[in-house]
Amino acid sequence: MESSEPFIRFDQLKRFLDIIFPRKCILCKSSHDGDAETICPNCMDKIPFIKNPACVRCGIPFEVTYPIEESLNYLCGECRNSPPLFDRALSVCQYNEAVRDIISTYKYHNKPYIGKDLVSIILKFLDEKITELSPKLIIHVPLHVKKLKERGYDQAYILSEGIGKYLDIPVSYGNLVRTRYTTPQVSLSGSERMENVKGAFLVIDPSGVKDKSILLVDDVFTTGATIKECVKVVKKAGAGKVYVLTFARV
Ligand SMILES: [Zn+2]
Ligand SMILES: [Zn+2]
């Protein structure tokens, strides 16, 4: 007798796979149930998510205990005194020890699949804001080809690809390139960082960015030296508004 019931249903299969290959949290290594995330609910609580109020330009959260009306579009002192070249910067969370561990596991331990988890967290918090900005193209802060070969994947590209796919925004790959191999920014001071990345990026085909509003994606906004250099290069090539999206910000 024929039956339309499959031999094993998807939910049964999933439960079966979860037992054989339990999902391990990338931070505390505990096994846990859950769908796409490999960060357990306990460790998710350790991430300092940015909640309003924040500067409407650079996204830095204000440390105030009283409510601020979001529609008033507050700017921080720095953006008021010297507005950054980018039009807006968005981040999901601030940087702390847990976030540092997540990012370094993602970047330095050959775990490109963590990018998928970060994309789902980014979208959970920022999909409406990104949609509101309606960028026409997504570009990531690229690695130098030598670094890409060492690492085997470009962590910022994985984020940009996931966001683009989900929000149906075209993703550019290979137009913004890093032409110079630079010293890791982490070992340098603020002004040294600016100097280190100066002239390190190039837009190969300016017609690909001309008059387009762009979402520039990276994993972390630290001093912003690398990101600012990319914004400068992309705007010089003729881009319209440039928005910056990072998972974390310092
Ligand atoms: Zn955990
Ligand atoms: Zn600001």
Whether residues 104 and 86 fall in one domain: yes
Ranges of the chain with pLDDT below 50: 36
pLDDT of 223: 83
| Stretch (H or E) spanning 185 | none
Ligand of minimum distance to the alpha carbon of 46: 1
Whether residues 23 and 106 fall in one domain: no
pLDDT of 17: 61
pLDDT digits (tens, 9 = 90+) for 174-184: 999 999 888 77
pLDDT of 183: 75
Distance (Å, rounded) from C-alpha 58 to C-alpha 244?
9
CA of 224 to the centre of ligand 2 (A): 12
Q: What residues have CB less than 8 Å from 167, skipping those under 6 apart?
A: 123, 127, 130, 131
Find the DSSP H helices in the chain: 10-20, 41-44, 77-81, 97-108, 114-133, 145-151, 155-167, 190-197, 225-236
Whether residues 35 and 74 fall in one domain: no
Whether residues 140 and 222 fall in one domain: yes
Establish if 6 belongs to a structural domain: no
What does DSSP assign to residue 62?
P
pTM of the entire structure? Answer: 0.86
How many CB atoms are closer than 10 A to CB 11?
8
pLDDT of 68: 64
CATH number for the domain that contains residue 203? 3.40.50.2020
pLDDT of 32: 65
CA of 234 to the centre of ligand 1 (A): 38
pLDDT digits (tens, 9 = 90+) for 126-162: 999 999 999 999 999 999 999 999 999 999 999 999 9
Establish if 200 belongs to a structural domain: yes
Instruction: Give the domain extent around 15.
Output: 11-41
Whether residues 151 and 37 fall in one domain: no
Whether residues 159 and 66 fall in one domain: yes
Structurally, how many domains does the chain consist of?
2
Whether residues 146 and 161 fall in one domain: yes
Whether residues 196 and 116 fall in one domain: yes
Ligand of minimum distance to the alpha carbon of 27: 1
Ligand of minimum distance to the alpha carbon of 26: 1
